[in-house]
Amino acid sequence: MIVLGIESSCDETAAAVVEAGRRVRSNVIASQVKLHEEYGGVVPEIASRAHAERILPVVQRAVREAGIELRDIDAIAVGHRPGLIGALLVGVSAAKALAWSLGVPIVGVDHIEAHLYAGLLDDEAWRAGDVFPALGLVVSGGHTTIFRCESATEVRKLGGTIDDAIGEAYDKAAAILGLSYPGGPVVDKRAQRGDERAHDFPISRLKPGSLDFSFSGLKTAVLYAVKGVPSGAGWDAKAPVELSEEAIDDVCASFQRAAVGAVTLKMGRALEQWAGEGPKAMMLGGGVSANSRLRAEMLRLGEERGVPVRIPKMAYCLDNAAMIAGLAYERLSRGEADGFDLRAAPTGASA
C-alpha cells in the first residue's frame, strides 16, 4: 500500500510517499525558518500563507521523487491535529482535494502520535510484538510528553509539561543569550564546548512520583545568570548580552545539563512505575530528539534498564510527512479511515 502524507501543522510544509508504512520513498520538507527568524518565533499568519504557496509544489516533488504517478497512490494521510489552526487548514484542505480527485481514502493523523512512529520508519523488519507495549516520549517546541503506547495507534498520556515545553525553553535560553533562532541546534552545539558545572541550574522534579515537567524555573535561572537578579530599578530585558563567548558556552552547557536531566529523571521514573514486565521499547520523537545529549542520555538509560531505544533518524526528528503517512498505514491496516468531514483541530487527543 502506498500512502501520500501531508504535514502543515506549524512551520514546515511537507509531503512524503511511504510504502507499507515503513519504506520511505520520498520525504520533502520546505522549511520556513528564514521567514520567521527575524521575529524569534513562528508567526501564524506568515506560516499559513507560506503553506498555501508551497503545498502544491511540495506534493508534486514528493510524488516525482518517489518515482510514481498520482494514480499509484492508495490513500492520502494528513496531520490534522494539534497545531496552528490556519496552518493545519491548508494541509487538510489539500488532502481532501487530492483524496476526492483520486477516489482514495483520507486518514487524519495526530501529529504528536506520529512523532512516536518516526523511530520505526525505514526499518522494514520490526514487528509489533517486539516493540509494544512501549514507553514513548515526545519532545518538541510545543510538547514534552510521556506516553504509554499499547500499539502504534493506541497511546495514553502519562505526564506532560505544566508550563513551557523543552523546545520552547531552548528557544528562550538562546534568545536571552542573543543567539539565533531556532535555539535548539545552536544551544546544543555550543553546549558541547562549555562547562556544564559552571552554573547550578535547577532540575525540575515537582512532587515525588510525578511524570510532569516544568521548565519555567530553568528559563528564569538562565535569565538571572545572564542579566543578574533584578533590583528595584530592574534591567532592560532587550539589552545586548555582555558575556564572553566562553561564558555563553558555559551557560548553554549548564542549561542543557539541567533540561535533559529533567527529561531523563522523569523517563527513569516512568520505567520504575511501569506495571508488569516493563515496556519492550522506549520510543523517542519530536524536534528535540535531534539533540545530541538527549539522544545519548536516552540510549544510556535504555542500556541501564535493559530496554531497547527507538530514536528517529535525523531526517525524521523535525516535522515531516513520512511519519504522518507511516502512522496512517497502521490505521488503514485496521480498517480505519476518515470521511470528508475531517476537521483540523488546534489541540490533539493526546495533548
Q: Domain for residue 347, yes or no? A: no
Please state, as a whole number, how many other Cβ atoms lie within 10 Å of the Cβ of residue 289.
24
Predicted structure pTM score: 0.94
Domain with 68 in it: what CATH number?
A: 3.30.420.40
Q: Are 168 and 73 in the same domain? A: no
The residue ranges of DSSP E strands in the chain, in sequence order, are 2-7, 12-19, 23-31, 75-81, 106-110, 134-139, 144-151, 154-160, 281-285, 309-310
Q: What is the DSSP string of 241-278?
A: P---HHHHHHHHHHHHHHHHHHHHHHHHHHHHH--TT-
Supply the pLDDT for residue 238: 64
Q: Are 15 and 35 in the same domain? A: yes
What's the distance, Cα to Cα, between the start and end of the chain in Å?
30
Residue found by looking up cell 476518515 in the block: 338
Supply the pLDDT for residue 50: 94
Q: Are 304 and 326 in the same domain? A: no
Q: Are 156 and 76 in the same domain? A: no
Supply the pLDDT for residue 285: 98
Q: Domain for residue 9, yes or no? A: yes
The pLDDT profile of the chain, 351 residues, written as one tens digit per residue, is 999 999 999 999 999 999 999 999 999 999 888 888 888 888 989 999 999 999 999 999 999 999 999 999 999 999 999 999 999 999 999 999 999 999 999 999 999 999 999 999 998 888 888 999 999 999 998 899 999 999 999 999 999 999 999 999 999 999 999 999 999 999 999 999 999 999 999 998 888 899 999 999 999 999 999 988 776 666 666 666 789 999 999 999 999 999 999 999 999 999 999 978 889 999 999 999 999 999 999 999 999 999 999 999 999 999 999 999 999 999 999 999 999 999 999 987 665
Supply the pLDDT for residue 233: 60
Q: Domain for residue 256, yes or no? A: yes
Q: Are 169 and 224 in the same domain? A: yes
Q: Domain for residue 349, yes or no? A: no
Supply the pLDDT for residue 40: 83
Q: Domain for residue 83, yes or no? A: yes
Query: What total of structural domains would you count in the chain?
Result: 2
Q: Are 181 and 208 in the same domain? A: yes
Supply the pLDDT for residue 217: 95
Q: Domain for residue 125, yes or no? A: no
Q: Domain for residue 251, yes or no? A: yes
The answer to whether 30 touches 13, Cβ cutoff 8 Å, is yes
CA distance 279 to 137: 13
Nearest to 21 by CA among 154, 155, 134, 152: 152
Q: Are 266 and 318 in the same domain? A: no
Domain of residue 272, residue span: 132-310
Residue found by looking up cell 499509484 in the block: 72
Q: Are 114 and 138 in the same domain? A: no
User: According to the 3-state scheme, what is the secondary structure of 306-326?
Assistant: CCCEECCCHHHCCCCCHHHHH
Angle between helices 183-191 and 245-273 (to 10 degrees): 100
Q: Are 97 and 216 in the same domain? A: no
Q: Domain for residue 163, yes or no? A: yes
Q: Are 148 and 105 in the same domain? A: no
CA distance 325 to 2: 9
- Which DSSP letter does residue 338 get? B
Per-residue buried b or exposed e for 324-336, using 16+ beta carbons within 10 Å of the residue's own CB: bbbbbbbbbeeee
Supply the pLDDT for residue 275: 78
Q: Are 159 and 257 in the same domain? A: yes
What is the CB-side half-sphere exposure of residue 174 using CA atoms within 13 A? Answer: 22
What is the CB-side half-sphere exposure of residue 272 using CA atoms within 13 A? Answer: 11
Q: Are 12 and 161 in the same domain? A: no
